[in-house]
A and B are shown apart, each in its own frame.
Chain A
Amino acid sequence: RKEVEQDPGPFNVPEGATVAFNCTYSNSASQSFFWYRQDCRKEPKLLMSVYSSGNEDGRFTAQLNRASQYISLLIRDSKLSDSATYLCVVNLWWGKLQFGAGTQVVVTP
């Protein structure tokens, strides 16, 4: 079983629609959680950290459920520029990160 699992997608989303997807992690000692965005042939870049209480950044909402060991990302009012691969990242200890394989989102006109 992979330590961080994501639905690879692709999620084909009409522009303006909402899309949500989850990520599960296996290590209950994981300390912090992130969503990174990776565009084709580019390095990953931080989209947002995920806090226990859930957090929102504009059109993006992240939730963490420690009991069930999953995190989620919701994108509202999808834009064409949201098309990317979204990586679920779990921090085991300072700096040691585990990456999911990514969820591909394709926003269509």
Chain B
Amino acid sequence: SAVISQKPSRDICQRGTSLTIQCQVDSQVTMMFWYRQQPGQSLTLIATANQGSEATYESGFVIDKFPISRPNLTFSTLTVSNMSPEDSSIYLCSVVITGYQNTEAFFGQGTRLTVV
């Protein structure tokens, strides 16, 4: 299993500013995933954070808006840049642990972002 500590748990930010979200995992993992969950909707993958290389972004998400750092195998940050009210959402980091017979995704507690 994996335990992920994500912070901040929530924040209210002014438009035009940036917020950096941190995730710390209690074990080394190759890939970490960053998701966004807008109200009433499911999780949408923003990007995959790889240690030692640039993150891989999904369609509709760009590095300038959501820069990601992955300095080691247990830590990653996601920055939401130049925020607008449309960025208000829950942001979640995730890792996937594959065992002998099963695969399970573990999530941080989420960051509830409100942009005013």
Contacts and interface: CB of A to CB of B under 8 A. Distances in A.
Contacts of A102: 42
A100 B42 contact: yes
Nearest to B104: A46
Contact of A95 (B48, B108, B109, B112): B48
A97 B96 contact: yes
Contact of B92 (A43, A94, A96): A43
Describe A's contact surface by its main secondary structure: strand
Chain B interface size range? 20 to 34
Nearest to A100: B42
Contact of A89 (B31, B44, B105, B109): B105
B64 to A, nearest CB: 23
Nearest to A6: B42
A84 interface: no
B105 A97 contact: yes
Nearest to B29: A95
B41 interface: yes
Contact of A43 (B95, B102, B110): B110
B112 A46 contact: no
A44 B98 contact: no
A98 B31 CA distance: 16
Given A43-B92, A43-B108, A97-B96, A91 B42 contact: no
Given A44-B107, A46-B105, A91-B103, A97 B45 contact: yes
B43 interface: yes
A41 to B, nearest CB: 7
Nearest to A43: B107
Nearest to B43: A99
Interface of B: 31, 33, 41-45, 48, 92, 94-96, 98, 102-105, 107-110, 112
